[in-house]
Each structure stands twice: as C-alpha cells, then as structure tokens.
Structure 1
Amino acid sequence: MSIDEYGSFDVVIVGSGVAGSSAAIACATMGARTLLIEKLPFLGGNSTAVLDTFYGFYTPGERAIKVVGGIGDEVVAELRRIGTVLERPNTYGAGTGITYVAEHLKVVWENLVVGAGAAVLLHAFVQDVVVAGGRVVELVVATKAGLRRVGATVVIDASGDADVCARAGFGYEAAGTIDPAQTLTTTFRMANVDPEARASIGKERLHGLMAEAADSGEYDLPRREGSDHVTPIPGVTATVMTRIDQIFGSGVSMCNATDPDVLTRAEMEGRRQAL
C-alpha cells in the first residue's frame, strides 16, 4: 500500500483537547511550523465533546483568587465575546468553575489555533509511528482519503490515552494498574428545567430523592447520587449521573477504555442509562 506524504512540520500535536490546542497556539505563536491532528470533526477534545466547564482558574475556598492567565484567559475572553459565560461554585467544593456553551468553544479553539498560524487536520487518527534515535520522527495518519505520512521534528502526545507513546513502544502506566481507575460516565443534558425549583433542592436532598426513586423499583437508576449544574442556556442543566463499571451487568470490568470492544459497549450502555 502506498502512503502519500502529507508534509513535514517543526511540531506535530496529536489530540486537540485543552492541552493540545493550547500547545498548538503557543508553538505557532512562537513561529514553529505546527500541525494539530484531531480524530473528531472539531477541536477541543473533552472540553467540547463532553464537558462544559473549566476549573482551576480560581483557588478553592471562601475567597476565590484567580491564578490562571495566558492562553486560558484568551479562550475565556473569546467565549465572553461570542456569548454568555457563567461563573459558578463547584458542586463538590473544588472552586469556581467557568461554564460555557460547547458549540461556542469549538469555534473559539479554531479561531485561536488557526489565527496563531497552526495547520489543522480533523477526522484523522494516528495509525503508526516511526522512531529514530529514541524520538518519534514520523507519524502515519489514517484519513478518509487514505494513509498519510507526517514528518515532525517534535511530536507532542496530547491524545489523552498516550496513543503515540504506546505505539512508539515507550513506557506507560495503564489506568487501574496501581490505583483504581475512575469509572466511565456518559454525561447528558436536560431541558425544560425550572432553575428556581432546582436551586431550592440541595445536594443531600437531591441524593435522597434519587435513593427513594431507586428503592421504589419504578426507576432503574445506575447511581443514587450524582450532580447537575446550570448552563448558559436557559432551562438546560448538565448532569453527571451515570456510572458504567460493568458491561450490562456481566461483571466484566469497564476500566480499560482503550479496548475498542469494551468502549463500544460502554458507549451503548451509557446511552441506555441516560435514557
């Protein structure tokens, strides 16, 4: 099979989540020929595909102190320019969160990355790597048009699963090997929520109502606790209320989300629980 050359870059970044997109902005701003590769049809990774809140901009505690600037500030400023951004307390006391509209953030990442001068390749998976002298010097990328070779002086693995490192044969620690891995969760949003009525119910009361619903036998709830929060969209809340630790009650562990068969069944189970 012939593999066409896509090009050669100073820096190639695999994965366009917060880390990858920020790295692309920084590298391109400094004048490096930069390529950002993403498997999804948009930039942002979990920040746009799953989540809707940034944490870590402020210290936790009664007096919130802003401790983040730089690219993070640029991102939030662009979000505010496009639409509404909410600052709200974390449900579990982790400090003030900045909640945004994910569709807006997709455009913000694109504007900042491309505006900095980086090239972007969406719908692209790293299929293989070439290692020379202990460094990754080339990537083989799978696209709709076939395989492409991408040369790189420096490769940044921001895939979230250390995909490049694993394919290169570098050492890594699989989640759950030493400490328990966090269970998988399918987040979902609810519409037509009365914000005032919801705000009148505290966390403990919410968990009590969920336990009562589960005990009634009328509802098949995967959890008796969880969290939800308001969003910039009126009447819409975002939730974390599913838990996928086994495959359809089979007892098979859901810890290894790098197994494609496990991940496929987990996706379906998560949607079943949300519904």
Structure 2
Amino acid sequence: MVERCYPFDVAVVGGGTAGVAAAVGASRTGARTVLIERSPYLGGEATNSGVAAFCGFYTCGENPVKVVAGVGDLVLQEMESLGPTLEYVVSATGNKNVNFQPEYLKCALDNLVEKEGVELLLHTSLIDVKVKDGRIQSLQCMDDEGAFTVEADCFVDASGDAALAHLAGANTLWGDEEGRVQVATLPFRLSGVDTSKDMTPAAVEQAVIRAKEAGIPFLTKERGFVLRKEGSSTVSVLLPSVMPTGISAKEMTQMERETRRQVLSYVKALREYMPGMEHAELAVIGPAIGLRETRRICGKDRITAEDVLGRRKRPDTVARGGWKPEIHKDVNKMGTYMEVEGGSYFDIPLGALQSESFENLYGAGRMISSDDAAFAAVRVMGTCFATGHGAGVAAAWQALHGTAEVVKIQEELRRQGALV
C-alpha cells in the first residue's frame, strides 16, 4: 500500500468549538488548513454530549456585554440561516446564554468549514506525533483504510484532552494540585415534557430527593439543569455525573456504563416525582459523556485566578473571557461559582495558548494554560470559540511568516471580527 502523506500549513486536532474556530481562523489568514476529528461530525461536547447551551459569549450577571465574536459569530449566523435553531436566554443562574439545537449545529459547522476552505477529515484518529529539535514535524493518523501522515508547519491542539501535546511529550497538567479534575456529566434528552411546569434546579432537586428516599438507585446529583426550548416538548437534562480518574479506554468504558445506568434511574425518578415529566420518553443519551476537565498544556504564560477575578487586561491579549469560575468537584451537587463584577471580562494572553515545550504547538479551548480556578472560567464553549480563533490565527501567522508577533496576530484577529 502506498503511504499517504498530506502537507498543510496548519493542522488542527479536534473539531469542537475551539477546533472549528482555530481551523476557520487559520484558513481566513491564508493558511492551508486541515481539521482532524475522530467523530463522524463536528461540535465536540456541544454535539457529542448534547450540551445545548453556549456559555461565555456574554459576560456574567446583570448588564451582559458581548465578549466573543469573530468565528463564534459566523457559527451563530450559520445556525440562524438554518431556521429558528437558537435562543438567547437568561439561565437559572442569571447569566445570558445562547441555547441551540445540537443536530442543526452539526450541519452548520459542516457548512462553515466547507465555505471557509478548510480540509476536513472526520473518522480520523491521532495515533502518534513525530518531533525533532523542539518542533513537531508531523502527525500519524488512522482511518479505516490504515495509517497516514499529516505534515504541517504549525499545529493546534484543540482535542480537549491535550491529546496531541501528550503524544508529542509536551509538558501537561492533570487537574488541580492534588490531581483532581471536575466532574464529568452525561446529558440526556427527554421528549413529551410539559415545559409550562416548573423546570428550575430547585424543582429538579425536590424530585430527585424524593426519588432517593423512595429507594431509586444510581442517583448522584440532586440539583441540576433542565434546558428547554420555547414551543418544544423536548428538554436536555444535565444530571448523571462521575469523577474521572483517567481517560484510558478502560476508564472511559466504566464511566460511560455508570452514567448510562444513572440516566435510566433519573428518567424513572423524574417521571414519578417531577410535575410535567409524567409522560416523558427517553429520546437520546449523550451520545458520549461530557468531560469538563482532563489535561491542560503548560504554556509560556498562564492565566491565574487573580487574572480572572480581577478581570485583568493585557497588551498581549488574543481573546476575551467573560465567564466566572464555575467549579464542579462534587458528583452529588451543582457547580459553585466564584463571583466577579457584572459586565466585566479578562484578557487571555497569547502565551497561554503557546506550548512551553514546542515552538510550533498551540493549545485552544479548555486545555489552555491556566491554574485550577482560572480553568473553571475559560473552559466554557463561548470562550473556547475565542481561544480557538486566537490560536488558529497565531498558528497561521507563524506558519506563513515565521514568527508569532502578537501585534500582527491582533490585527488579523480584528480584521476577522474578533474582539481583542
């Protein structure tokens, strides 16, 4: 068999919100760009796990200010072109979110990357990375025809789990100082729900507590979100939870099985004890568990809790973060928040996207360089659009011009409509 080898300027691994933004940003900068995704569709946690709300497009609290535009806006526009697939809502926690329909998002992302000239490789797994003299040279990938090579001048790891960085031998972190990560959740969808009834986290809690008292097994989190769309009887439920200790096949299998078992118990609990759910039917599980936190890269710079809480502004910014630290460390409880000033944001520096180990490797999305509390603010999908866009433009500029000049990268990001 003839070995397949594909050359590009920029290679992006991971087709979630960060990866799509990175690939589109790189292509718009003029780089020949490939986007590699192991699933049969794009979207990451938004489509794999059915997390049907973009948090982070706006600042938290009252008087929300938009802090993410650029490629994020292109995605929203593509969704709007497909019909009434978006809703701008204030969540139960008082923050402005963009709710969306995940199945339409798959098609919108297909359309966008095709329009922007990105080479898309779905059903493609990264299996190895070739490095030499402090640079990544190529990726070894696998599809059902066998192995092939992707060469590039610069690389963006948007895998969520720092898979590229890990295989390359780059320095990475796992969770906090004690090695604990945030809880993973398996969302599921119910149809036939009377959404005129109370669907608040408090109502969910009352139902789950009653179900636990009645002896329904495998229930963990008592208080959680039910995401609904106006005029629809289908809702997304964010309850089944587990604490990851690793992401090997064995560990992932255990977590998927455990949370699917929880789903069936939650369906029974909600049907029996939550008004409006009496005739609910299980429509979709997952289809994959949603990981909030695994590995992060060690970058040339690092975002800290002080940066986030103090809403620090920086001259080397390539993205804005508007969310507040949202921490999920207990499988039985909802996340807790560290409060910030309403309507405010913090800057994300270029160095937080640059690997300290390899000069041509960038990180994007939830795996950028940050401490534990700061991570809890940058991991949301709206901010992932912003960091992905920044990483993609930076990688493309370096691939085309040989340097990563932050002023030039900022100029290009602004030309593409990003807020920096």
1:249 maps to none
1:233–1:159 CA distance, 2 compared to 1 (3 A): farther
Instruction: Please tell me the residue identity of whatever aligns with 1:142.
Output: M
Give the number of equivalent residue pairs. Answer: 262
Give me the whole-angstrom Cα distance separating, in 1, the residues matched to 2:179 and 2:226.
Answer: 27
1:88 maps to 89
1:270 maps to 259
Contact 1:223 1:243 (8 Å CA) reproduced: yes
2:39 maps to 40
Bigger CA drift: 134-143 or 214-223?
Answer: 214-223
Residue deviations 1:156-215 (CA, integer Å, cap 9, x gap): 11111111111111110123553531122111011111111135xx43243123212211
2:245 maps to 255
Q: State the Cα distance separating 1:221 from its structure 2 match.
A: 2.0
Residue deviations 1:245-271 (CA, integer Å, cap 9, x gap): 3xxxxxxxx321x21101011111111
Query: Counterpart of 1:195 in 2: which secondary structure?
Result: coil
Contact 1:175 1:255 (8 Å CA) reproduced: no
Q: Relative contact order, CA 8 A, sep 6+: which one is greater?
A: 2
TM alignment of 1:116-265, pairs within 5 A: 116-176=116-176, 178=178, 180-199=180-199, 202-218=200-216, 220-231=218-229, 234-245=232-243, 254-256=244-246, 258-265=247-254
Residue deviations 1:52-110 (CA, integer Å, cap 9, x gap): 111111122222222222111111111112122111122333x1111111111111111
- Aligned residues with identical type, % of pairs: 32
Contact 2:127 2:141 (8 Å CA) reproduced: yes
- Whether 2:4 is the aligned partner of 1:5: answer yes
Structure 1 unaligned regions, length at least 5: 246-253
Contact 2:218 2:261 (8 Å CA) reproduced: no
Contact 2:8 2:152 (8 Å CA) reproduced: yes
Give me the whole-angstrom Cα distance separating, in 2, the residues matched to 1:55 and 1:42.
Answer: 21
Instruction: Please tell me the residue identity of whatever aligns with 2:254.
Output: R
Structure 2 unaligned regions, length at least 5: 265-420
Give me the whole-angstrom Cα distance separating, in 1, the residues matched to 2:231 and 2:144.
Answer: 35
Contact 1:28 1:117 (8 Å CA) reproduced: yes
Give me the whole-angstrom Cα distance separating, in 2, the residues matched to 1:79 and 1:99.
Answer: 11
Query: Counterpart of 1:197 in 2: which secondary structure?
Result: coil
Give me the whole-angstrom Cα distance separating, in 1, the residues matched to 2:58 and 2:178.
Answer: 31
Q: State the Cα distance separating 1:220 from its structure 2 match.
A: 4.3
Q: TM-score, normalised by structure 1?
A: 0.89
1:77–1:147 CA distance, 2 compared to 1 (3 A): same
1:133–1:238 CA distance, 2 compared to 1 (3 A): same
Q: State the Cα distance separating 1:234 from its structure 2 match.
A: 0.6
Give me the whole-angstrom Cα distance separating, in 2, the residues matched to 1:99 and 1:138.
Answer: 37
2:75 maps to 75
